[in-house]
Each structure stands twice: as C-alpha cells, then as structure tokens.
C-alpha cells in the first residue's frame, strides 16, 4: 500500500510506470479528500475522481494528476 498526498497546486507529471511494472498489476486510486480543481489524467482523458470512490488504474498507460 502506498499513500500519497498531492498538495494544493501540486502536480504529478504524466508518465507510465514502465519497466518493472507487470501488465496484470493495476493501481487502485481512492481520493480521501478532494476539491473541484483536482483531476487525474489517464490516457487519453482528464477526469475528476470522487471522494471515497475507488478507481482502477492500469499503470502502464500514461497517467498523472494535478490539484
């Protein structure tokens, strides 16, 4: 398990996890707190994740986030 905090104005650059990641291992994103400006990029779209709602992410595709 990994917990990450994206501070106000913070950004996680678009990337893919690439080498060392297994094609069958996906990440589960669950925003504990959010706001209307927070959004996540999962190729090819930006989306707002709802607070407390799980979203599965294939980490081999391009993804990133901004707050």
CA distance 54 to 65: 15
CA distance 3 to 28: 11
Is pTM beyond 0.95 here?
Answer: no
Q: What would the pLDDT profile of 35-65 be if each residue is shown by its tens digit?
A: 999 999 999 999 999 999 999 988 888 999 9
Distance of CA 54 to the CA centre of its chain: 11
48: left (phi over 0), alpha (psi -120 to 50) or beta: beta
Q: Report the pLDDT value the prediction gives residue 5, as an integer from 0 to 100.
A: 87
């Amino acid at each position: 398990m990994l917990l990450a905090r994206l501070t106000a104005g913070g950004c996680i650059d678009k990337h893919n996890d690439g080498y060392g990641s297994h094609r069958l291992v996906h990440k589960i994103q669950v925003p504990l707190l959010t706001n209307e400006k927070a959004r996540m990029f999962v190729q090819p779209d930006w989306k707002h994740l709802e607070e407390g709602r799980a979203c599965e992410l294939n980490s081999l595709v391009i993804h990133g986030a901004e707050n």
